Amino acid sequence: MNFDNEQEELLYVAEIGQKVPPFVLEAYDPEDFGFTEVDFEKIQKEGKWTVLFFYPADFTFVCPTELADLASKEEALKEAGCEVISVSTDSKFVHLAWKTDERLLKDVKFKMASDPTGEVSKFFNVYDPETGQALRGTFLIDPEGVLVSSEINYYNVGRNADELLRKVKAFVYVKDHPAEACPAKWSPGEKTLTPSEKLVGKVYEDLND
């Protein structure tokens, strides 16, 4: 991720509602059994949403359970229009070794990106300078490059890919229906809200009509 001086001042840390500048990361691709690159600009040009899934380190304990959980929802995320990318500060070579050795990762097909300098992790505000690792951060970026969702957990609590998929479907829905909003726990097919002066103080009635 290379900023010019003006961009660096404006976008030093990712903010909800702001565009994410282009970046390229080296990666291991489990589907091709080889090394590749993750090019954020290319993903945008393909009209895809981006799920960036930061985690602390390969060959650790909670991390393989998270990646296995994410892998179980990758097909559904793809159907929703997402490119799924995991990211840690480990090298692409360590990703390859971990994917080969850890049986929990047998179904992982998404690209495993490497951020050895921590530059991208710092931009998304998940970099821990004391350890040189990334916290557990999940970021959803829309096809125009706008960051619409952010979740950051500390090291000792894993995430839930079911909730990630639910949020992705909700964000996809409201992007296609900008006049509407999704209430708590909303899933496709359930009732949405259409904000207006008539809805003020009447949300219960609207949802239970």
Which residues are known to be catalytic?
Answer: 63
Q: Can you tell me the distance from the alpha carbon of 193 to that of 183, in angstroms, rounded to the nearest whole number?
A: 7
DSSP 124: T
Tell me, what amino acid is at 41?
E
83: which strand partners? 50
Q: Can you tell me the distance from the alpha carbon of 107 to that of 64, in angstroms, rounded to the nearest whole number?
A: 11
Q: Can you tell me the distance from the alpha carbon of 27 to that of 65, in angstroms, rounded to the nearest whole number?
A: 20
Whether 18 and 124 have beta carbons less than 8 Å apart is answered as no
> Which among 144, 174, 148 is positioned nearest to 21, based on CA atoms?
144
Q: Can you tell me the distance from the alpha carbon of 11 to that of 91, in angstroms, rounded to the nearest whole number?
A: 26
- Which class for 90: exposed (0-12), middle (13-18), buried (19 or more C-beta within 10 A)? buried
User: In a 3-state reduction of DSSP, which class is residue 174?
Assistant: helix
Whether 25 and 113 have beta carbons less than 8 Å apart is answered as yes
